[in-house]
Amino acid sequence: MNNIMSFKFDPLTPDAAREKIRLSARGLRLAHNLTQHALAGKSGVPLSTLKRFEQCGEVSLASLLAIATALEALDGFENLFPKPAATSLDQLDSGRPDRRRARKRQS
């Protein structure tokens, strides 16, 4: 008898991420006891846009941020694009400002 549990971790795909965000937003709306109409009014997002988002996950970034703000979930976007970790002590000590553009590739 094998008591070892196996887990399969699939990498998150864009479609899976969209579905997870869609379902989370809908669940949070319901947890706040808001109708779609009430959330549309509170967020300033048209009702048709909110319905499309909750049904298929399609929404503009501006509308998504407005919905997140209305649901008090905007903080979740703070770490969406984290800075890369320093790979050396020199990078930590340099105190250089963030880079503004990438270097040109050498051909």
* Segments making up each domain of the chain, as ranges: 14-73
Fold of 14-73: 434 Repressor (Amino-terminal Domain) (1.10.260)
Query: Looking at residue 91, what is its pLDDT?
Result: 67
Confidence band, pLDDT 50/70/90 cuts, at residue 96: low
Query: Looking at residue 100, what is its pLDDT?
Result: 67
Query: Looking at residue 29, what is its pLDDT?
Result: 97
For the four alpha carbons of 59, 35, 24 and 16, in that order, the dihedral sign comes to negative
For the four alpha carbons of 81, 32, 13 and 66, in that order, the dihedral sign comes to negative
Q: Which residue has the higher pLDDT, 87 or 40?
A: 40
5 pLDDT higher than 60: no
pTM: 0.73
